[in-house]
């Protein structure tokens, strides 16, 4: 029996001295059961101890215990080594190189249209104006009728304006907000109203079916055309610098009388004439005028008591002039390589 026990020990050591792969913990369990389990080799030897003499039994018993202890010690050593190897491998695999350059988080920025819109709002807020808004899907009444637009005005044509029904359309200018504000507020009224407008135009470098306007409206007692000129002059100087000049040219709008188109000095040639301003020296930025008495009446304001000016400015053009952008489409393609420059 002694020999049998020594053989078991020798066999166990041989098998346990084998190199185990990290994921062979299961194999270790199989060996444990094989040697030490209820039906294991050592147990089956011990079962035969009954046949031994009284002198032999304690000697063999002690030897059997020694063998068990040695196998158990070896098993836990191997198992500890496997665990340690596993941890080392995980550390190796999950190693973080803290010297690697970090991943840059791209920070967005305001679209130039939004940035300039905010800037213009700030300038007008400083002059005592408030910001008003109106719907983009609008009644024909607010877009044309209330603004004294004659029934045969070319802008009413479906080739110019997007109609949704006979009396609902996509507003073609922000002047709609003038009417909505005057209907609900008593003078003095000082508002600007930035927003999107729609026209049935084919896309090219200077046209887009969607663009932006900023409407301005100032109604009070004794407001004159010089208030209009002074307000716009101040705006342009704040936007483009102190030596920027504006120029008013006579024009016609159904909702203002007198009316003007307002040009701002070309930033590229400072009025000399160049390719940017088509040799004009000035670039047209807005329509303006004194609110027509009929429009005031349509909105319940007495034109004998009150007067006021209104203007509608093309925001896209202001932005283009500001940054020297020569193609309007760039503002709508939303290419981050372009937008990232502002
Ligand atoms: N609504 C006009 C346009 O879109 C601009 C304008 C606004 C003109 C207010 C006069 C007064 O062209």
- pLDDT of 45-95, one tens digit each? 878 888 888 888 888 888 888 888 988 888 888 888 888 888 888 888 888
292 lines ligand 1 (CB under 6 A): no
Atom 7 (ligand 1) nearest CA? 312
126 CA → ligand 1 middle, Å = 23
143 lines ligand 1 (CB under 6 A): no
193 lines ligand 1 (CB under 6 A): no
Residue that wins the pLDDT comparison between 60 and 118: 118
Ramachandran class of 327: left when φ > 0, alpha when ψ lies in -120 to 50, beta otherwise:
beta
Distance CA 279, CA 317 (A): 17
Highest mean pLDDT among 101-105, 149-153, 229-233: 229-233
310 lines ligand 1 (CB under 6 A): yes
Reading the block at residue 277, the tokens are: 């301003």
Q: Which of 218, 216, 200 is nearest to 208 (CA)?
A: 200
CB atoms within 10 A of CB 81: 13
180 lines ligand 1 (CB under 6 A): no
Site to probe by mutation for ligand 1, drawn from 257, 312, 318 as the one with most ligand atoms within 8 Å of Cβ, is 312
Mean predicted lDDT score pLDDT of the chain: 91
Is this prediction's pTM over 0.85? no
pLDDT score, position 248: 97
| 168 has pLDDT over 90 | yes
98 CA → ligand 1 middle, Å = 60
Backbone angles phi, psi at 58, to 5 degrees: -65, -35
Which atom of ligand 1 is closest in space to residue 197's alpha carbon?
4
């Amino acid at each position: 029996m002694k020999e049998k026990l020594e053989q078991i020990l020798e066999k166990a050591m041989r098998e346990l001295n084998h190199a185990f792969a990290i994921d062979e913990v299961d194999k270790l369990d199989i060996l444990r059961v094989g040697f030490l389990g209820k039906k294991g080799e050592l147990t089956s030897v011990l079962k035969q101890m009954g046949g031994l003499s009284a002198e032999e039994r304690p000697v063999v018993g002690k030897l059997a215990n020694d063998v068990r202890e040695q196998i158990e010690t070896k098993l836990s050593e191997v198992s500890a080594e496997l665990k340690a190897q596993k941890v080392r491998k995980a550390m190796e695999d999950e190693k973080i190189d803290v010297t690697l350059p970090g991943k840059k988080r791209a920070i967005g920025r305001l679209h130039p249209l939004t940035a300039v819109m905010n800037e213009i709002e700030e300038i007008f807020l400083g002059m005592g104006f408030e910001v008003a808004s109106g719907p983009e899907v609008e009644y024909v009444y607010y877009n044309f009728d209330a603004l004294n637009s004659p029934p045969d005005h070319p802008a009413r044509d479906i080739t110019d304006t997007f109609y949704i029904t006979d009396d609902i359309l996509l507003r073609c200018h922000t002047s709609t907000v003038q009417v909505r504000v005057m209907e609900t507020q008593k003078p003095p009224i000082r508002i600007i109203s930035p927003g999107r407008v729609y026209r049935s135009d084919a896309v090219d470098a200077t046209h887009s079916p969607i663009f932006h306007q900023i409407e301005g409206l100032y109604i009070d007692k004794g407001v004159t055309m010089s208030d209009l000129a002074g307000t716009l002059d101040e705006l342009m100087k704040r936007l483009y610098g102190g030596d920027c000049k504006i120029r008013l040219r006579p024009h016609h709008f159904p909702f203002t009388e007198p009316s003007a188109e307002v040009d701002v000095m070309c930033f590229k040639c400072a009025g000399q004439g160049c390719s940017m301003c088509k040799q004009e020296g000035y670039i047209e930025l807005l329509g303006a005028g004194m609110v027509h008495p009929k429009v005031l009446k349509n909105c319940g304001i007495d034109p004998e008591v009150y007067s006021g000016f209104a203007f509608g400015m093309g925001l896209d053009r202001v932005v283009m002039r500001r940054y020297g952008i020569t193609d309007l489409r760039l503002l709508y393609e939303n290419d981050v390589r372009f937008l990232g420059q502002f």
